[in-house]
Amino acid sequence: MKILKGAEVSAKIKEQVTQMMEGLEGPAPKLAIVRVGEKPDDMSYERGAVKKMENFGLRVQTYVFPEQISDSDFKAEFSAINRDPDVSGILLLRPLPKQIAETDIEKMIDPEKDLDGISPANIAKVFAGDKTGFAPCTAEAVIEVLKANEIDITGKNVTIVGRSMVVGRPLSMLMLKENATVTICHTRTRDLETECRRAEILVAAAGKAKMLDGRHVGQDAIVIDVGINVDENGKLCGDVDFPSIEPLASMATPVPGGVGAVTTAVLAKHLVLAGRRQRGN
C-alpha cells in the first residue's frame, strides 16, 4: 500500500504559492487568525497555520478573545478586523462559544477575505461550481492530495462518509466538478459497510476515531482520512483504523501527516489569491 504523505503535497503547493507571489508589489499578504477561548484543538491548528504561513513567506497575526466575550463585543472586534485593509484574509476558528451568534459572523465576513469558505456567498459559489469562491480548506485539500499523486478522479465512484458543511457537503461538490460519481454516507445510512466497499475512492470525514476499518474498504480502494481524533491512548488518530485497511487499500493518507498538513498549505494558497485580487492582480 502506498502512503500518501501530506508533506509532499504541501511542498508542491508551496511552489505554486511562490510563483503566485512573483510580481506582487508591497508587503506579503496577511492572514488574521481569530480565536475565542483556549480550546486545545483550536490552539493546535493555530500553531500549525502560523508555522505554515511563516514558512511560505506570508504574514500572519493572531487575534485571541476570552471565552466569555459577549456577542456584541465580539462582533465589534470582528468587524474591525474584517475592515482592516492590511488584512488580506481571515481564518475564524470554530465553533464559537454559544453566546455568539455564529451565523451572524458567517454573514458578516467579507467573502473576499473568507479563506475557509464559511460565508453564504462562497458556499453558493462552491455549490454552483464557480472557481472564484473559496472552498473550505480541508475539502479542497482532499482534491489537492489526489491530484498531486496523479490520481484521476473522472468517472470514479467516490464515497464520502460525513455530511458537514466543513468537509462532506462541499467536498461532494468539488468531486462532482471533477466528474466523479459521488455517494454521501452518514449516521443514518443503511448498511454503511456495503456502501463504502463500493468506493474506488473512500473519504472518511465523520469525526469519529477509527470508525471505518477493513470491513468498509474494497480491494485496491484509495482511502483519504480527514479525521483528527485522539484515541484511547491519547494519541492522534483518524477516522480509519489504519492497520486493518493495509491489506486492502492501494493507497491511503496517514493521520497525522496526511490531509491536515495539506489543509494549511491550501489556506496559504487562498491567502495569496485573496491578496492578488485585492491588489487588482
16 by Cβ neighbours in 10 Å (0-12 / 13-18 / 19+) ranks as middle
Task: Say what angle helices 40-55 and 259-278 make with each other, to 10 degrees.
Answer: 60
Q: Is 228 annotated as a binding residue?
A: yes
**What would the grid cell of residue 115 be?**
479563506
Residue 163 annotated as part of some ligand binding site: yes
Q: Tell whether residue 162 is among the known ligand binding residues.
A: yes
Look at residues 27, 99, 92, 32 and name the one whose alpha carbon lies nearest to residue 57: 27
The reply, when asked if residue 250 is annotated as ligand binding, is no
What is the 3-state composition of the chain as percent helix, strand, coil, each rounded to the nearest 5? 40, 15, 40
Q: How would DSSP label each residue in 176-244?
A: HHTT-EEEEE-TT-TTHHHHHHT-SEEEE-S--TT-B-GGG--TT-EEEE---EE-TTS-EE-SB-HHH
Binding-site residue set for NADP(+): 162-164, 228
Binding-site residue set: 162-164, 228
